[in-house]
Amino acid sequence: MHRPGCDPDDMRESDFLCDFCHRDWTVAAPFVEGHHGSCICRHCLETAALAPAPASDPFHCSLCLEERRDPAWSTTSARLCRRCLVQSARVLARDPDGGGTPPAGT
Ligand SMILES: [Zn+2]
Ligand SMILES: [Zn+2]
């Protein structure tokens, strides 16, 4: 997510917040951006990969915004579908700043 009140024409790393833990990019880098400015940090991806939730009622994934039922991870502020977990892990693995390895469990 983007920090409320941020200037869209002058986005800084501190204006990007992880939708799941609300830490900003400067603290929680690396980040993966989803649709509509939604973001997840590597820390949350690793946590999600190690602790996937069981299938649930239909929910809207915070990253792809699509309705899902597949195993998801959620915090009080956002929910993640399995597909986004895998895709985000791949993005991080390709990103030289992302550590070069997929998060454990993905
Ligand atoms: Zn996070
Ligand atoms: Zn998703």
Instruction: Report every protein residue that has its C-beta within 5 angstroms of ion ligand 2.
Output: 61, 63-64, 81, 84
Whether the pLDDT of residue 104 is over 70: the answer is no
Peptide bond connecting 54 to the previous residue in cis, omega within 30 degrees of 0: no
Q: What is the pLDDT of residues 59-88, one digit of tens each?
A: 999 999 999 988 778 888 899 999 999 999
Please give the residue that has the higher pLDDT: either 88 or 100: 88
Domain ranges of the chain: 13-95
Whether the pLDDT of residue 97 is over 80: the answer is no
Whether the pLDDT of residue 10 is over 80: the answer is yes
Whether the pLDDT of residue 44 is over 60: the answer is yes
- Distance (angstroms) between ligand 1 centre and the Cα of 21 equals 4
